[in-house]
Amino acid sequence: MTTHQRHDPPRRGDSRTPGLESPEAHGSLRGYIIGYLAAIALTIAAFAAAPSTSMAPFSIKAALAVLAIAQMLVHLIFFLHINTAPAQKTNIMAFAATMLIIAIVVIGSMWIMGHLNHNMVPMNRLMQMQR
């Protein structure tokens, strides 16, 4: 019975693991600093744009949504190290499936509930009808 005793330093997984990659690829100090600075810039832009009175409310909402998505991407790329490398195919597929479910849940809910609200008899008229 041989015991596999190894004394080399343990590896931090391989390139297919989220958050893990070979040292030469990503996960460097530089990557974290770039991600941190980009996230700070996008956060400040969002907080500066929100109280603006010179833009139409709809364009502010659109700008904030774009800034949020951009910052989420910055986090995913620089902090979570999700990229399009061939070795990460499984991760990307799982991520894409999750995004599809999230889109169906969020957009579908807002769509259906918006229509329901629109088609519903206003509450004061409903109460008059019940008298």
Residue 46 as a binder of other proteins (CB under 8 A): the answer is yes
Write down the H helix ranges in the chain. Answer: 29-49, 57-74, 89-119, 123-130
Residue 22 as a binder of other proteins (CB under 8 A): the answer is no
73 vs 128, beta carbon nearer other proteins: 73
| Spatial contact of 73 and 59, defined as CB atoms under 8 Å apart | no
Measuring CA to CA, which residue among 114, 97, 110, 32 is closest to residue 65?
A: 110
- Positions that interact with other proteins (CB under 8 A): 3-14, 16-20, 23, 27-29, 32, 35-36, 39-40, 43, 46-47, 50-51, 57, 60-61, 64-65, 67-68, 71-72, 75-76, 79-80, 90-91, 94-95, 98, 101-102, 105-106, 109-110, 113
